[in-house]
Amino acid sequence: MKQNKQLGIEISGTIYSEDAHTNINHEEFLEKFIAFVEKNNWLFGGGTKQVDENGELVK
């Protein structure tokens, strides 16, 4: 019997605050994102990084 492959969603993009004067805290975002994923009984595999408005890595 042929078994169907599990399908998932690949996310590629950047999230910013609607208020241009407000920055998103990386740790706070991750806490909320992981809570959202776990609340829906999903899994996330990948990485995150904080970037500026030009997409440059923030260290």
Give per-residue pLDDT as tens, 7-30: 999 999 999 999 999 999 999 999
State the Cα–Cα distance between residues 34 and 6, nearest whole angstrom: 21
Side-chain half-sphere of 49: how many Cα atoms within 13 Å? Answer: 9
User: Which segments of the chain does DSSP mark as H helices, in order?
Assistant: 26-39
So what's the pLDDT on residue 59? 86
pTM over 0.95: no
pLDDT recorded at residue 12: 92
pLDDT at 54 over 80: yes
Spell out the long-range contacts of 16-20 with Cβ–Cβ below 8 A and sequence spacing 24 or more. 16/53
Contacts of 52 (CB under 8 A, 6+ apart): 58
Percent of the chain whose pLDDT exceeds 90: 93
